[in-house]
Amino acid sequence: MKHLQEYRDPVLARRLLAELRTTATAPWTIMEVCGGQTHTIVRQGIDRLLPAGMRMIHGPGCPVCVTPLETIDRALAIAARPDVIFTSYGDMLRVPGTSGDLLSLKARGADVRVVYTPLDAVRTAAENPGREVVFLAVGFETTAPANAMAVLHAAATGVTNFSALVSHVLVPPAITALMDDPDTQVQAFLAAGHVCAVMGWTEYEPIARAYGVPVVVTGFEPLDLLEGVLMAVRQLEQGRAEVENQYARAVRRSGNTAAQDAIRRVFQVTDRTWRGIGPIPASGLALRPEFARHDAAVRFEVGDLVTRESPDCIAGDVLRGTRLPTDCSAYGRTCTPRTPLGAPMVSSEGTCAAFFNAGRTPEHR
């Protein structure tokens, strides 16, 4: 398949690794901020093949994982209502809230349905005018255009019983927050190619200048990531701090302007609390006031929510990149993909799930 098999060529991988070893003269530390990239790195063992001392830090690149606990608890409260059809992508159903998850709620009789696009939820609302249909709209900038189009479509067609529970998060403010941490060890970033396909990379240019940190827009296949690491190391070795684009086959500097226009029409920037990390100013998207009739947070009163994370889970440290999943005493024991204590063990992009599925243990990281 074009743009797939050729980016998994083992001969080219060995050449990139050889060039990386001759280029690197210091133990550089690089963070990838996409969970899909994390899974490729861990599954292919790329982090184990890097030159001695060089380290990949797995950042908060899973939007499912960083969706605030309060949002999950709010979703559970709304989904439990008998007049509600609650819709979501499948990876959100197992994310633990303070007391249970959406899948358990479905098993107890709640009408919780998996959809493949937000427009499926709008269609469900049109077909069920006597029910309220709520879509759990989470994700980075990647999923925001489709969610914006669903709201616009519902508004244009008069589907008033559709609403979205929105918890979008934005990547550049998270990178800024990581660099503002006085204990950060990150010296370069691999930026998520799919986010930049939507937004371009102009937002990363002031970050690179202000913090003196290289940013390389990178794809998701093994050769993408190896070349992205090599490009970052070249910058570090040469004392440069720029934004470069490894993922040229899919990303332009300006991004997708039509998608950006849809986002701006429907959403406004807001402060957001990231699960396990805490509040980050101007790091989220919320529905504009003119779409309040489609805002589930406005339409449904759920009372005061008292949230509580599992005391045995170190997901926050994992998401900040300060600890590995294998540092957690619950990892692989009381916390597995079947019995997750934290979101990073649930999501297909979560770091803990990546380590578990790759067979990583405390003895063999």
pLDDT digit of tens for each residue in the chain (365 aa)? Answer: 566 778 889 999 999 999 999 999 999 999 999 999 999 999 999 999 999 999 999 998 888 899 999 999 999 999 999 999 999 999 899 999 998 999 999 999 999 999 999 999 999 999 999 999 999 999 999 999 999 999 999 999 999 999 999 999 999 999 999 999 999 999 999 999 999 999 999 999 999 999 999 999 999 999 999 999 999 999 999 999 999 999 999 999 999 999 999 999 999 999 999 988 899 999 999 999 999 999 999 999 887 777 888 899 999 899 888 899 999 999 999 999 988 998 899 887 899 999 999 999 987 66
Contacts of 286 by beta carbon, 8 Å cutoff, 6+ apart: 166, 168, 267, 268, 270, 295
Q: What is the pLDDT of residue 107?
A: 96
Contacts of 75 by beta carbon, 8 Å cutoff, 6+ apart: 86, 88, 92, 97, 102, 136, 165
Contact 37, 226 (CB under 8 A): no
Reduce the DSSP state of residue 229 to 3 states and report it. Answer: helix
Sequential DSSP letters for 150-218:
HHHHHHHHT-TTEEEEEEEE-HHHHHHHHHHSTT----EEEEEHHHHHHH-SGGGHHHHHHHT--EEEE
Q: What is the pLDDT of residue 321?
A: 87
Strand partners, 272: 280
Query: What six digits make up the tokens of 153?
Result: 């479509």
Contacts of 58 by beta carbon, 8 Å cutoff, 6+ apart: 31, 32, 38, 41, 42, 318, 321, 324, 351, 354
Instruction: Record the pTM.
Output: 0.93
Report the distance separating Cα 75 and Cα 101, nearest Å.
9
Report the distance separating Cα 3 and Cα 316, nearest Å.
35
> No. of H helices and E strands in the chain?
16, 11
Report the distance separating Cα 301 and Cα 338, nearest Å.
32
Report the distance separating Cα 11 and Cα 8, nearest Å.
9
Mean pLDDT of the chain: 94
Q: What is the pLDDT of residue 3?
A: 65
Q: What is the pLDDT of residue 364?
A: 65
Q: What is the enclosing helix (H) or strand (E) of 355?
A: helix 351-357
The total number of residues shown for the chain amounts to: 365
Q: What is the pLDDT of residue 127?
A: 98
pLDDT digits (tens, 9 = 90+) for 123-133: 999 999 999 99
Kindly report the CA angle at 146 between 60 and 178, in degrees rounded to 5?
20
Q: Exposure of 106 by Cβ count < 10 A (0-12 exposed, 13-18 middle, 19+ buried)?
A: middle
From residue 302, how far is each of 50, 98, 108, 326 by CA, in Å? 49, 15, 19, 37
Q: What is the pLDDT of residue 347?
A: 81
Strand partners, 207: none
